[in-house]
Structures are given as C-alpha cells and as structure tokens.
Amino acid sequence: MRTKTRITSATCAVKLSASARTTTKDHKCDLCGKTLSECADENKDHKCDLCGKTLSECADNNKDHKCDLCGKTLSECADNNKDHKCDLCGKTLSECADNNNKDHKCDLWQDVERMRGRQQRSQV
C-alpha cells in the first residue's frame, strides 16, 4: 500500500519499507530513483557501508605508522639516515656503540662516513 508523504532527504515521495527502498544498495529509491542517502563509512574500513564503494585510502598523517582511520599498521620503524631514530616517528631505535676498534666513534656513523667517502671518490 502506497501513501504519499512529505519529501525529505531520507524519504522518497512514496512511503515504503526500508528494505524495499534499498534492495539494489545504490542509495536510490528502487521505485522512483530518488537519491535517499550518501556514502558513509561508520565502520571505518574505507568503504561505503551500503554500496561498498571505496571512499578513501589508508593515510598516516600523525606519523605513528598506523592508518589514522582504520588503525591498520602501515610501516615499521626504520633508520635509513643512521641517526639512531626512526625516520618517520622519531622514536630512538639504538644507541651509539664503539665495538669494532674502540676509537671513541660510533660504529654506525663510521659506516656511514665510509660509504659517503666511497661515493664521493666514485663520482670524481
């Protein structure tokens, strides 16, 4: 049984049960085609909860190695510039050590300096 009702953003011109309005999961009334809703991601999985459309990608703007929306781990700490700290989050990963020749210089930095010297000589 159809009854006319006032049109709002949540209803169409024909009052139907919720299941009759959304059987195709396209945000539109199956009868009149009016858009009833917009995509939403309440469960924070980057997809529309109704139609499944991808709404966003993982992003780590606060630099904690996790997606800011869904919490998925995106990376691990890494020290590519050999300063004993994570390049992304700044966490201290190691301390200076002088185990190889007791010259009072950090072994990690000595390795970096040796590599830089080799690179400079190869560029000349």
Question: Over its length of 124 residues, how does the chain's per-residue pLDDT go in tens digits?
Answer: 444 333 344 556 555 555 455 567 888 887 888 888 899 999 999 999 989 999 999 999 999 999 999 999 999 999 888 888 899 999 988 887 767 666 667 766 555 555 555 555 556 5
**What's the pLDDT at 31?**
81
Dist. CA 108–CA 105, nearest whole Å: 9
**What's the pLDDT at 4?**
39
Tokens standing for residue 21: 């309005």
**What's the pLDDT at 1?**
40
Tokens standing for residue 95: 């301390």
pTM, rounded to two decimals: 0.55
